[in-house]
Structure 1
Amino acid sequence: MKTDAFQEALRQRGVRFANRFQGTWHDYENVDAVLAIRDCPPVVMATKPASKLINAWKARVPAMLGPEPAYRELRRSPLDFLETDSAEAVLDAIDRLQGSPELYQAMVENGMKRAEAFDDNLLAARWIELLEEARERNRRETRAPLLRYARYLWNRQKISLVKRLSGWRD
């Protein structure tokens, strides 16, 4: 997607690509759609949240996203996002959105409904619940420090093994 050919294909479609890698990556004001595709190992993808999808829903714009676990986990309908894993798939998705205003509008309306589950007050309540659970778990584990330390060592080894097997290097 960094090639001149891809950029030219966008221009032919009347699309201006706004690269938002730094600074305003989260600001979807004045965009018509979101494109987010990463090229990194699966172990890294597994740790990435679905922020771009949720932000697209809240901004009322369709999203074209790579095949990431977090996005797929939230998917309930084909209207949630268009999965794109290559430059060709992105161009096809753009053609679909430009050629079908009904699809574009349906994705916007679907996203508005989906965004309701990510209301700030609702999320704050979920975080409070999670932190209270963590506090209780910490109380239990404080009574058994050896078990806590064993879990810590086990998790470190598991992370290290997954990184080595996937070829990921820090």
Structure 2
Amino acid sequence: MQIFLSDRIPTPIGELLLIADQQGQVRGLDWSDHEQRLMKLLDARYRQHPFLLQTADNPAGLSEMIQRYFAGELAVLSQIPVVSHGTPFQCSVWQQLRLIPAGSTISYGELAKRVDRPRAVRAVGAANGANPISIIVPCHRVIGANGMMTGYAGGLPRKQWLLKHEGFLR
């Protein structure tokens, strides 16, 4: 059984739950009020290799890096190592999400084009919604084709706050 480390991080818009491995790679990050959803995602991903959670203070400095993001150091997210287990399609979507710079957004249709599946807009939306590493894998940077705010597992008010924090919204 593998050991994952967990920490709770206060932010201006709620507490985050961080799950990291012992090598300092983020395996999960979500809002504490969505902890059950995160644990279901992780349990499904690691069914073949179960894990045990241990509480840790600032594992591998990751909690501090996330706090730096909330303090305005937006580029720190790109320095945080992540490991995501999903289908090859989901992983391709999540990799593309990490390429969206802070302060910008793309549509689900554009994201589908970037993973070479231009007609798979709904599948891209489903992969985006199954992302177990919120903020670092910035699913909040994907919006509707008409520029409207669309679903975010953490809630639209948090999505709006994150986009404003990154300078996209005024």
Of structures 1 and 2, the larger Rg is shown by 1
Structure in which a larger fraction of residues adopt strand: 2
The TM-score normalised by the length of structure 1 is 0.25
